[in-house]
Chains A and B, each alone.
Chain A
Amino acid sequence: MNQSLTQFAAASPHINIKADVLFHLGTIPVTNSMLLGLIGYALVIWALFSTARAAKTGRGNVVTKLVMMIYEMLLGTVEQVLGDKTLARRIAPLSISLFFIIIVNYWLGILPFVGPVTVGGVPLFRGLVADMNVTFAMAIISMVVVQIYAIKTHGFFGNLGRYFRNPITDPAGAFEGILELIAEISRLLALSLRLFGNVFAGEVLIIMVGFMTQYLAGIALLPFMIFELFIGSIQAYVFFMLTTVFIGLGMVSHGEHSDDTHADKQVVSTA
């Protein structure tokens, strides 16, 4: 690891806000984030399927026990936030999958071979969640699910009524509706940009510390990497929590909304 870090430090810093395209499959570009993402997805599938097998057989190892413990904790949180066990069981797969995908790919992006290993001057690997396409896709899916559950609860027109009201009969409500619409869009952007920003900033931090410390990078980078592990878990939890909270907020009736928005702000400010 030390040698790899030293090599990493000796190389000139390659900072790109976009994922680099390695090659094309037909018209579809294959990026370095997709390459590491494949490993990340495989790891998530392996860990969760192993946990499911361990749950069936009753024989597990440290990894499966840890995954099970995290799963239980997250499921409990979803149940607590939504306050309905049946609904929580329907929502939890999305939130928990997001958590596992984000945390695994965030941590993979910190590994020393991500960045220094290059092909034609382009890094072969890049953290999956350091790709705006991924964080944006995740945020879009989350917000679509928020809308689906809001429509299920309020009905199609009832849900539209949250955003569009008659300005003549209810001018304050109409203004509030516009604000609500803006809030929905800002939530979508905040979800994706917050995660991307944190991952990208973390990567830039590690690259710059490695570049500046050169041959001492092996020692200098370790605390930053440990810190990034911590940040990764926090960001995964924040994304998970916000998705759950937004779904919950989408389902509350208009009267209850103001109190919960405060809770939402608290979560966001904590993040």
Chain B
Amino acid sequence: MPTALTYVANTSAENSGLFESLGIDWKLLVLQSIAFLLLLWLLSKFVYPVLNKMIDTREAELEAGQKAAKEAQDEAARAEEKIKSLMRDAQKEASDIVMTAKTEATNMIAASEEKAKSSAERIVAEAQESIAKDVLAAKKALHNETIDLVALATEKVVGKTINAKVDKTLIKEALN
């Protein structure tokens, strides 16, 4: 190690100039500059444009992809909104239909009830009329039978029959 340090120290001492002690040689400096510029030209001409083009293409593809994804997303949102709207319409329509059906059913039930009621009333009226007729007929039959029975009873009580015509007249008078 001392050898190395001594060597460095000696080198610095020998080369009085700062540039020379650092090993800067204008010929090498120019040569290295030319070499680097040549490499820079070579890469700028044949490499970087290709890489930039690939990056641009990929960025464009990414942007297009993102745009397409956004459009698809918007389209999906629009479709969803449309579906929601259709669903709302369908629900409203279904609700209307149900409402109409209910109203119609109610009307039908009311009409049926009304019809049944009138029918029942008619039947009842007819039945009442029939009953009234029957009662009247029965009353008449009973009346006649009563007359006959009374006549018969009277005949048996009186013991003789005046005649039928007289009987009847008498009974009628008695009954009335």
Contact = CB atoms under 8 A, between A and B. Distances in A.
Interface of A: 12-19, 27-29, 31, 34, 37, 41, 44-45, 48-49, 51-52, 55-56, 68, 71-72, 75, 89, 92-94, 96-97, 101, 131-134, 136-138, 140-141, 196, 207-208, 211
Contacts of A137: 29, 32-33, 36
B131 interface: no
Given A17-B23, A37-B35, A52-B50, 18 more contacts: A12-B3, A14-B4, A15-B4, A15-B7, A16-B11, A17-B11, A18-B21, A52-B51, A56-B50, A56-B54, A92-B48, A93-B43, A97-B36, A97-B43, A132-B22, A136-B24, A136-B29, A208-B1
Interface string B43-74: 11011101111110000000000000000000
B156 interface: no
A101 B55 contact: no
Given A133-B25, A137-B33, A48 B47 contact: yes
B137 interface: no
A141 B43 CA distance: 16
B31 to A, nearest CB: 6
B154 to A, nearest CB: 140
The prevalent SS among residues of B at the interface is: helix
Nearest to A18: B23
Contact of B27 (A28, A55, A96, A208): A28
A55 B50 contact: yes
Contacts of B21: 17-18
A52 B1 contact: no
A41 B11 contact: no
Given A13-B1, A133-B29, A101 B39 contact: yes
A51 B47 contact: yes
Contacts of B36: 97, 101, 134, 137-138, 141
B29 A17 contact: no
Contact of B32 (A13, A93, A133): A133
Nearest to B34: A137
Interface string B1-12: 101110110011
B37 A93 contact: no
B27 A27 contact: yes
A134 B32 contact: yes
A89 B32 contact: no
Chain A to chain B: the 7 pairs with minimum beta-carbon distance, closest first: A18-B23, A55-B54, A137-B32, A133-B28, A52-B50, A15-B4, A137-B33
A134 B44 CA distance: 20
Contact of A18 (B11, B40, B52, B53): B11
Q: Which of A41, A97, A196 has the most CB of B within 10 A?
A: A97
A208 to B, nearest CB: 7
Contacts of B4: 13-15, 207
A208 B51 CA distance: 42
Contacts of A17: 8, 11-12, 21-23
A16 B50 CA distance: 41
A29 B51 contact: no
Contacts of A29: 25, 27-28
Given A18-B11, A48-B47, A94-B40, A89 B29 contact: no
B86 interface: no
B87 interface: no
A141 B33 CA distance: 7
A75 B55 CA distance: 10
A97 B28 contact: no
B42 interface: yes
B93 to A, nearest CB: 56
17 contacts: A13-B3, A17-B8, A18-B22, A19-B28, A28-B28, A31-B28, A37-B35, A44-B39, A49-B46, A51-B47, A75-B52, A93-B40, A137-B29, A137-B33, A140-B29, A140-B33, A196-B22
Contacts of B42: 45
